[in-house]
Chain A
């Protein structure tokens, strides 16, 4: 049977409560989780943009046009904070996934997460160096 509001049903005199559609607004942690999951769309969108750029590698004008298009600029402005949120939340979760034992003790979580941040920093610095030096070569 269904009650007045239609939210609940009973089967064999047990009450089955339906999960509200807005469950993710009921707790800040759920909202943060939903944002984390949602940011992947922008990470994916930026990957598509990179592929489109790669397809224009042999056509410098089309490449420059795509880079300069307002839509691409808007995408990059939105995708950057989204990608940072995505990376930071996942990096902070790495100690739960990657557990390294030293005898009876786990390697502290901040070292695991810290190693990921260090790697991120190193790769970013390398890419920036590559882009800067490559730019002067033409």
Chain B
């Protein structure tokens, strides 16, 4: 906290925080804390204040506090938000309700279990599978700015999982691959250096992949990095449909899935 505060800390704000302490055998409940109000504070600052000054038992994840690491996603008044980017001034003087991200299992307080999500990233193979292996001597894999533009938006994903908490389809079907994993699959499928589209197709173009999506579109609305996973999924549906038609018309032709339109 800076010593030269321009405003005195007489104004306060109430935070209603979700608590779940399995070791104590307590049932989930809400606890209300009163924190000083400062117009340059974000919800994460308020949580840090609670942990440092009021109640050290409160648990939550955070790291960079500047919207890059994707750790501090929580439900703020029912909306999935990065708490490092949700300013108190946008809620003041009303009470703020902080809950763990929707639809994920809760381990403790505001900490969710993200194992499923990490597994899904692995299933989709969200890494570059080179179209052709080259030795270092042969030089780098070249790419034009136009080729980069096709997937660059999807590289902005920080795995914060806000999109999953905005997705009612994921809420009802936890096995749904989900917005971020599919957008990241597209990120590599659309990369001109990548040749792994066929390897990803079985998972990506399955019933639990893109076809589970009913285009609610809220994943793109809550995304703090404008990745637009909803758009990525719909474009993947177009690609999958085109591939299916190509397979129907030219069954003997070499099947090439993926988005190198």
Contacts and interface: CB of A to CB of B under 8 A. Distances in A.
Contacts of B221: 29
A69 interface: no
A15 B20 contact: yes
A101 B149 contact: yes
A26 interface: yes
Given A27-B78, A27-B218, A14 B106 contact: yes
Contacts of A105: 149
A7 B107 CA distance: 17
Contacts of B220: 96
A103 B146 contact: yes
B77 to A, nearest CB: 11
B105 A97 contact: no
B6 to A, nearest CB: 36
Nearest to A10: B22
Given A10-B22, A30-B218, A23 B146 contact: no
A58 interface: no
**How many residues of A sit at the interface, in one of the four size bands?**
20 to 34
B149 A104 contact: yes
B217 A93 contact: yes
A136 interface: no
Interface in A1-50: 3-4, 8, 10-11, 13-17, 19, 23-24, 26-27, 29-30, 33, 37
A97 B238 contact: yes
Contacts of A75: none
A93 B23 CA distance: 47
A99 interface: yes
A24 B168 contact: yes
Interface in B1-49: 20, 22-23, 27-28
Contacts of A101: 146, 149-150
Contacts of B22: 10, 13-15
Contacts of A26: 78
B203 interface: no
A13 B234 CA distance: 37
B28 A8 contact: yes
Interface in B75-125: 78, 102-103, 105-107, 113
A36 to B, nearest CB: 9
Contacts of B235: 96-97, 99
A3 B28 contact: yes
B28 A29 contact: no
Interface in B125-154: 145-146, 148-150
B231 A96 contact: yes
B107 A14 contact: yes
Given A15-B105, A101-B150, 15 more contacts: A4-B27, A10-B22, A13-B23, A14-B105, A17-B106, A30-B218, A33-B217, A37-B214, A96-B217, A96-B220, A96-B230, A97-B234, A97-B237, A97-B238, A103-B146
